[in-house]
Amino acid sequence: METTLRGVGVSHGVAIGEVRHMGTAVLEPPAKQIPSDEGEREQGRARQAVEAVAADLIARGNLAGGEAQHVLEAQAMMAQDPELIADVERRIAVGSTAERGVYDAFAAYRALLANAGEYLAGRVADLDDVRNRIVARLLGVPMPGVPDSDEPYVLIARDLAPADTALLDPTLVLGFVTEEGGPTSHSAILARALGVPAVVALPGAGEIAEGTVVAVDGSTGEIFVEPSQEKRAEMESASAARRAALSAVTGPGATSDGHKVPLLANVGGPGDVPAALEAGAEGVGLFRTEFLFLDDSKQAPSEEKQVEAYRAVLEAFPEGRVVVRVLDAGADKPLEFLTPADEPNPALGVRGLRSLLDHPDVLRTQLTALSRAVEGLPVYLEVMAPMVADRADAKAFADACREAGLQAKFGAMVEIPSAALRARSILQEVEFLSLGTNDLAQYTFAADRQVGAVSRLQDPWQPALLDLVALSAEAARAEGKSCGVCGEAASDPLLACVLTGLGVTSLSMGAASIPYVRATLAKHTLAQCERAASAARAADSADEARLAAQAVLSGE
């Protein structure tokens, strides 16, 4: 009998197939004492296992490339964290085995995050995965992971670590569903990069029996268990129509009546450029430069290394627009040389622009590198600061750009409600705004963007969030300046129409989403988008807003 479940759709597309569950295993080693003369040998075993796991993660990243490579390299750094390794060795010194020392040290760090309010909760899955890989290697047992299968299937898991997601074979894994995670978790981001339909934050997904046929709609978040032949035919037909529509629409983003909406790509480095070009991106709306810094958490990359990475991206978009976000460190992206180690609440502490203003040499080097990288290139460079709270922040950033001799437009990200409320004031100092809807939702609703339990409040359709977008866009229009969106909200084709109707002037997203957004915008006039935006803002919940906008755009 067909039943319907609802999670959070995070990657477009439809998948129909039999369920296979992620392999699991109990990897808690026995708690036994070792003789004191074996401590040094056990410490050596632990170090070897850590290095082997880190090397494996880096190798997986090299195979995956693109954004997945950056994520896995960051996870390898987690495995090699000096404080964690020191804790492991302390535990071994007082009698633990290597595997038990690793297990207990990681458990202590996990508990530390939980006691801090789980502001890094979205990385707990990454931490658990690193621990499991090290312990499995020490115990000599296989690492639980993606199941072996000769036939395509829909993968179900409690959560997926980046190392699993990055190397999924799209010819076998039709789509995946997780019980935990959120729309901005690593799994969601990598699923979009792979183009695999995915639904996260679906409680009870693990209870769906192995071999059960399910139909997954990665756009709506709906899961149909044992779908009828009629439902399967309906979804397959809709999927085929969607693919046909995607291939039929090409060129720059625009509404059906010719209102231009540039469609840009979010990238983490040169490895993401080919996919952006293939999708027809008109430029880059968010160049996340922090991945370059995460290669070594102890020191900033040299100016030369930065110039090389920036120029590789800038050269790919001649006559195009490239918006670079300066280093956004802190919270779930701590850097030893930049961010405080003892903040009780990192997401609300010294992060983003605040960190850079505390370390002006790091900001100056990055701005100088960008200035050198763009020399002689016919590209439109724009540089923006993360976590701008007010006009004083915006002025400090613009002054730093001018002092570095940077020939570019300077902008501010709107990720804090105060920035949206006072957008017109901020625009006295900078030339454009870019809305980071992921963090803006987090701070608007006091809902950690990585915690699946509060994913309802991370839904970019929340009317309160749309109000803040509208305030920012109205301020930019009044000042004759631009206001784009570079958060994951832009990757939702229906919401892209609403954002256009709110006055947003450009949309930036993962490359895989660009064709969907282009095709959907091309079906509607600007006036329809504006009516859909008004209907969505008049609603009282995210679900109601989505349905109201859908009704307007479908002509109901």
SS3 at position 405: coil
Per-residue burial over 291-330, b if 16 or more Cβ lie within 10 Å, else e, is bbbbeebeebbeeeebbebbbebbbbbeebbbbbbbbbbb
Query: β-strand 14-21 against 409-414: which pairing, if any?
Result: unpaired
- Residue bearing tokens 């994520």: 71
Contacts of 231 (CB under 8 A, 6+ apart): 2, 215, 224
Contact 298, 543 (CB under 8 A): no
Per-position DSSP letters for 150-184, written without gaps between them: SS-EEEEES---HHHHHT--TTTEEEEEESS--TT
Query: β-strand 198-200 against 173-178: which pairing, if any?
Result: parallel
- Per residue, what are the HEC states of 264-277? EEEECCHHHHHHHH
- Strand order of the β-sheet with 14-21 is 3-6, 222-225, 213-217, 14-21, 153-157, 173-178, 198-200, 8-11
- Listed in sequence order, the DSSP H helices in 374-445 are 391-403, 417-421, 423-426, 437-445
Cβ neighbour number for residue 278 with a 10 Å cutoff: 12
Is 21 catalytic? The answer is no
25 DSSP 8-state letter: -
Q: Closest by alpha carbon to 529, among 457, 458, 473, 445?
A: 473
Is 497 catalytic? The answer is no
The active-site residue out of 12, 70, 186, 524 is: 186
Contact 413, 434 (CB under 8 A): yes
- Residue bearing tokens 């290669």: 295
SS3 at position 107: helix
The active-site residue out of 483, 486, 497, 529 is: 486
Active centre residues (catalytic): 186, 486
